[in-house]
Amino acid sequence: MPARAFRKSYFYTVVWKQLRSNRFAMTGAAIVLVLFALSLLAPYITPYAPDDLDAYNVLIPPCPEHWLGTDELGRDVLTRIIYGARISLKVGFVSVGIAVLAGSVAGLCAGYYGGWIDQVIMRFVDIMLCFPTFFLILAVIALLEPSIWYIMIIIGLTGWMGVARLVRAEVLSLRERDFVMAARGIGASDFRIIFRHILPNAMSPVLVAATLGVAGAILTESALSFLGIGVQPPTPSWGNMLTAGKDYLEFAWWLSLFPGLAILVTVIAYNLVGEGLRDALDPKIKRI
C-alpha cells in the first residue's frame, strides 16, 4: 500500500475512531463548529449591528428584545459577542498559523541537518524562551500602533519555540528510519525528503500544539484588549468588552459575565479538542 494511502487509511480507521469515541473532544469540536457558524452567519442571526447606538435602551438587562442586554451606549451585547468571535477566531488561527510555519521550518532544519545548524537554532530557541512571552508582547506592542494585524503577527512570532522543539524531536526519530534511508539511496533531494517524507509523519504533535495554541492566542488577545493595547473600540472584542463592563459591574453584571463566559467556553472547547487529538494521534498513550 502506498504511504499516502496508508496514512489516509490509518487516519480514518484509527484516529477518527478514537476521536469519535471521546465525548469530551466531540463536545469541544461541536462548540468550535457553533462558534464558526455564528461568526460566519452573524449578519443573518442578529437584527442589530455591533455599533448600533440606542440612547433609549442603555444598560437594559437581558430581555426578549436583547437576550444578553445592552451596554452603556445601548448596543446589543449578544451581537457584539458574536462579532467579537470573529476577531478571536481570526487572531487564534492567523497567529497559530505563523507560529506553526516558523516553528516547523526551524524544527525541520535543526532535526534533519543537526550539527552547528541544530546548535544555532536551538540556542536561539532557548534565548527566546528566557523572555516572559506576555511581557515581550506588551513591550513590542507598546512601541507600535495598536492593530489587530500587529497583534496576530507578534503572538505568532513569540509562540513558535514550542512547535520547533516538537518538530525537531520528531525529525530526530524519523531521519534514520528505513523509508528516509531508502529515499536518500535513490538520490532524492533534501527538500523532497524533508517535505515529502519526514514532514507528513511529524505532523501529529504539531496538530495538537496548534489546537492548544489557538486557545492560548485567544486568551492573549483578550488580555491585551482588556489592557487597552489590543483591539481598539468600537471594534467588538471580548477583551475590550470586559474592560467596558468593569465600570458597571455593580449594577450591570451582564456586561462582564457574558464576554467572560464566551472566553471561558471557547478556551475550554479548544483544549478539549487538543487533548482528544493528542489521545487519538499518540498510540503510546494508554486508553482506559
Rama region for 5: left / alpha / beta (φ>0; ψ in -120 to 50; rest): alpha
The CATH homologous superfamily to which domain 3-48+63-281 belongs is MetI-like (1.10.3720.10)
Instruction: State the DSSP code for 188.
Output: -
pLDDT at residue 288, as a whole number:
42
pLDDT value for 132: 80
Q: How many CB atoms lie within 10 A of CB 157?
A: 16
Question: What per-residue confidence (pLDDT) applies to 259?
Answer: 93
| Digitized pLDDT (tens) for each residue of the chain, 288 residues in all | 444 544 555 555 667 777 788 889 899 999 999 999 998 898 888 888 888 888 888 889 998 888 998 988 889 999 999 999 988 888 889 999 999 999 999 999 999 998 899 999 999 999 888 888 788 788 877 787 777 888 888 888 888 999 999 999 989 888 888 888 888 888 888 888 888 888 888 888 888 889 989 999 999 888 888 888 888 888 888 988 998 888 888 888 999 999 999 999 999 999 999 888 888 776 555 444
Tell me how far the alpha carbon of residue 25 is from its chain's centroid. Answer: 16
**H-helix segments, the chain:** 3-10, 16-21, 23-40, 42-45, 77-113, 115-130, 133-143, 148-157, 161-174, 178-185, 190-192, 203-227, 238-245, 254-281
- CA angle in degrees (0–180, nearest 5) for 225-159-283: 125
Distance CA 44, CA 147 (A): 27
Q: What is the pLDDT of residue 1?
A: 42
pLDDT of residue 5: 47
**pLDDT confidence of residue 227:** 84
Dmax (CA) for the chain in angstroms is: 77
- From the list 17, 23, 34, the residue with the least C-alpha distance to 273 is 23
- Of 248, 263, 265, nearest to 69 (Cα)? 248
